[in-house]
Amino acid sequence: MSGDETGVVIVDAELAEKAAPLAQRLAADGAAAKLAAKDSTLWGPDAESEASIRLSWTTLHKSSRPLIGEIEALRAELRSEGVDRVVLAGMGGSSLAPEVITATAGVPLTVLDTTDPGQVADALAGDLERTVIVVSSKSGGTVETDSHRRIFAKAFADAGIDAARRIVVVTDPGSPFSELAEKEGYRKTFLADPHVGGRYSALTAFGLVPAGLAGADVARLLDQAASVAETLAEDTAENPAVQLAAAWGAAHEAGAEKVVLAATDSGNSNYLPGFPDWAEQLIAESTGKLGTGLLPVAVDGPDAPGFADHGKDATAVAIGAPEGAAQISVTGPLGAQFLLWEFATALVGRLIGINPFDQPDVEAAKKAARALLDDPEKLKGGEEPATVDGAVEVFGSEGVVTEGKLADILRAFFGSVADGGYIAVQAYLDRLDDASTSLLRGEIAKRTGVQTTFGWGPRFLHSTGQYHKGGHQNGSFLQITGAVEDDLSVPDRPYTLGQLQHAQALGDGQVLAEHGRPVLRLHLTDRAAGLAELVRAVQEAAQ
Ligand code: PA5
């Protein structure tokens, strides 16, 4: 199958054999056609009420068409005013799709899905005269996004720029942001379809507005989705979404519930850089609940540790072009792949018996962070590190070894991972300036042979965060936090961005510990020096 053709091949013969009866079952149940027709009964009575207001994504290739003209007109208007730098403030489903769309199209988009003061300061340091910020939030109540809005509004005003003319809002009708946009006279508000959940919203205003304003050809994405829509609605075992769901379902049944995702063939016109990060959220947040689900492991490419050498507890998926080491290969252009993966995720939800449209455990970490922000004394520190080794302070949940040299602590931590478990590295740092932190994923996976995920905090809280708390309870969590040199205040809020970032790390750590999961937090008192020590300690620990 070429990269242009949309399709799924279960390359591994054993997996194909196990998947065949599941594909037959989905076809016999008429699941694909029912899904395309927005039938909310597919996931059982408990899921029906949520599903009944979450299925409009199956026909977005038609219903989103009118948006294209509006986006083009706004882009032309902004450009005629010399405004051609697009910043996007949005978390999870409100930023991951535009990020992959623009990365695939090769057009620049500055994405703010962080609370790291340094990273936000860098975005502010860009040319504000040429900047428009798209503030995207379905709920209109997400603290990270609201903080970015406040910070940018003040920065525009301080620079003598009319902030209201530079803020574009994407939100659901009736949300606090839609009311605010009206009150403040923001330049334009795009109201999205409220019957589409965040992670299924790639082809709504949430995906299309920021990507289109940045210069991506978003009409083409809808064409690509339209080209595959009929096939995805067919009740045959060969339907690619049925195939993908059946392969995942069979892998899950066999205990290979970790799905290692790599974009393949960078020379191909359908190379989809960043797609694994988008798919990671879709799969983790949709399936990771009731103590079950699929754990996506997004890796840099097919040569990354954990892909070819994935072990019995994981399944390797190549995205873009067939790849020797993969068990499943998925091809097709981006717009078609969005729809294909959404169909497959909803269908595998039926197979493993979960509701793919809720995210019951996401709120717990937000609540814990809010409680900490209300208690500034606790935030300021209070807690003493159990150990200090160079530029690294060590904190741990109950039962986690925190005494000794850093390498010994890490050795004990890696050694305690449950059989068939996973390690999640969670870095509450600057995704650009501290980018090399992500190399820890491969280092740890290679040296321990354990499937290892990597997430930037708080971004992952809107993605794999659901699985960590709601999915299979066999994760071990390595949090990395860092000293903040220049903090940023959040206008009219009693906390700084750095305090918010710290509260998010501590809050999620608390919730994970309450779930009985081991949490080791390493705080870098000097980010560069601490990171170098950490890398050395990981290497030493695994010898
Ligand atoms: O998929 C989801 O529902 C979440 O990941 C949301 O997209 C994320 O939490 C952001 O929410 P909102 O768009 O309401 O700011």
Q: From ligand 1's centre to the CA of 90, what distance in Å?
A: 8
Q: How many CB atoms lie within 10 A of CB 380?
A: 10
CA 353 to chain centre: 22
- The 3-state secondary structure of 311-341 reads CCCEEEEEECCCCCCCCEEEECCHHHHHHHH
Q: Which of 50, 94, 172, 357 should be mutated for ligand 1, with most atoms under 8 A from CB?
A: 94
Q: What angle do CA 529, 531, 534 make, to 5 degrees?
A: 110
At 268 the pLDDT is 75
Indicate the top mutation candidate among 53, 115, 142 to test ligand 1's pocket, ranked by most ligand atoms within 8 A of CB. Answer: 142
CATH number for the domain running over 60-221: 3.40.50.10490
Residue-range domain boundaries for the chain = 7-37+233-352, 60-221, 363-541
Architecture in CATH of 363-541: 3-Layer(aba) Sandwich (3.40)
3-state secondary structure of 235: coil
329 DSSP β-pair partners: 9, 318
Name the pairing type of β-strands 85-89 and 7-10.
Answer: unpaired
Please provide residue 389's backbone torsions phi and psi, each rounded to the nearest 5 degrees. -125, 105
Encoded tokens for 233 = 């609605």
Residue with the nearest Cα to atom 9 of ligand 1?
Answer: 462
Taking the centre of ligand 1 as the mean of its atom positions, its distance from the CA of residue 118, in whole angstroms, is 23
State if residue 442 touches ligand 1 by the CB under 6 angstroms criterion. no
- Between the CA of 461 and the centroid of ligand 1 the distance, in Å, is 10
Look up the pTM and report it: 0.97
Check if 359 has its Cβ closer than 6 Å to any atom of ligand 1: yes
Ligand 1 pocket member 366 (CB < 6 A): no
Q: 240 CB under 6 A from ligand 1? A: no
Strands 7-10 and 328-331: antiparallel
pLDDT value at residue 382: 58
- Does 494 sit behind a cis peptide bond, omega within 30 degrees of 0 on the bond before it? no
Q: What angle do CA 520, 524, 529 make, to 5 degrees?
A: 130
Cβ 198 under 6 angstroms from ligand 1: yes
Q: What is the 3-state secondary structure (H, E, C) of 256-294?
A: CCEEEEEECCCCCCCCCCCHHHHHHHHHHHHHCCCCCCC
Phi/psi for 338 (5° steps) reads: -55, -50
CA atoms within 13 A on the CB side of 19: 29
Instruction: Please report which helix (H) or strand (E) contains residue 28, including its range.
Output: helix 13-28
Q: List per-residue pLDDT tens for the chain, 543 residues long.
A: 555 789 999 999 999 999 999 999 999 999 999 999 999 999 999 999 999 999 999 999 999 999 999 999 999 999 999 999 999 999 999 999 999 999 999 999 999 999 999 999 999 999 999 999 999 999 999 999 999 999 999 999 999 999 999 999 999 999 999 999 999 999 999 999 999 999 999 999 999 999 999 999 999 999 999 999 999 999 999 999 999 999 999 999 999 999 999 999 777 777 898 999 999 999 999 999 999 999 999 999 999 999 999 999 999 999 987 777 899 999 999 999 999 999 999 999 999 999 999 999 988 877 777 787 887 676 665 589 999 999 999 999 999 999 999 999 999 999 999 999 999 999 999 999 999 999 999 999 999 999 999 999 999 999 999 999 999 999 999 999 999 999 999 999 999 999 999 999 999 999 999 999 999 999 999 999 999 999 999 999 976
With a 6 Å cutoff on the Cβ, whether 345 touches ligand 1 is no
Task: Give, in words, the CATH class of 7-37+233-352.
Answer: alpha beta
| 7-37+233-352 shares its CATH topology with 60-221 | yes
Residue 25 burial class via C-beta count within 10 angstroms: exposed 0-12, middle 13-18, buried 19 and up: middle
For atom 12 of ligand 1, which residue has the closest CA? 137
**Can you read off the two tokens belonging to residue 410?**
């890490």
3-state secondary structure of 362: helix
Q: Are the C-beta atoms of residues 302 and 326 closer than 8 Å to each other?
A: yes
**93: CA distance to ligand 1 center in Å?**
5
d(CA 264, CA 326): 10
Q: Which residue has the tokens 């989905």?
A: 26
Helices assigned H by DSSP within 29-84: 31-36, 45-51, 60-63, 65-80
Query: To 5 degrees, how large is the angle CA 234–CA 236–CA 240?
Result: 75
3-class SS at 476? Answer: strand
The single residue listed with the structure tokens 């990273």 is 119
* Distance from residue 360's CA to the centre of ligand 1 (Å): 12
| 360 within ligand 1 shell (Cβ under 6 A) | no
Tokens standing for residue 71? 């986006």
Residue 62's alpha-carbon distances to 9, 216, 219, 347, 377, in angstroms, are: 28, 19, 11, 22, 52
CA 415 to centroid of ligand 1, rounded, Å? 35
| Ligand 1 centre distance from Cα of residue 524 (Å) | 29
Instruction: Identify the residue whose tokens are 């694909």.
Output: 32
Q: Which of 156, 104, 165 is nearest to 127 (CA)?
A: 156
For residues 223 and 72, give the distance between their C-alpha atoms in angstroms, rounded to a whole number.
Answer: 16
Find the distance separating the first CA and the last CA of the chain, reported in whole Å: 42
In whole angstroms, give the CA distance from residue 392 to residue 375: 25
How far apart are the C-alpha atoms of 177 and 171, rounded to whole Å?
Answer: 7
Ligand 1 center to 288 CA (angstroms): 16
CB atoms within 10 A of CB 382: 8
3-state SS assignment for residue 245 = helix
The two structure tokens encoding residue 541: 């620990």
Question: Rounded CA gap, 41 and 251, in Å?
Answer: 25
Residue 181 pLDDT = 98
- What is each CA distance from 214 to 124, 133, 197, 503, in whole angstroms? 17, 11, 23, 32
Q: Which atom of ligand 1 is nearest to the CA of 90?
A: 15
- The residue nearest atom 2 of ligand 1, judged by CA position, is 198
Place of tokens 């937000």: 366
Q: Is 199 in the pocket of ligand 1 (CB under 6 A)?
A: yes
CA–CA distance, 500 with 518 (Å, rounded to integer): 23
Task: List strands edge to edge, sheet with 314-319.
Answer: 7-10, 328-331, 314-319, 258-263, 295-298
The pLDDT of residue 453? 98
Question: Does 458 sit in the ligand 1 pocket, CB within 6 Å?
Answer: no
Q: What is the spatial order of strands in the sheet that 85-89 belongs to?
A: 110-112, 85-89, 131-137, 167-171, 188-191
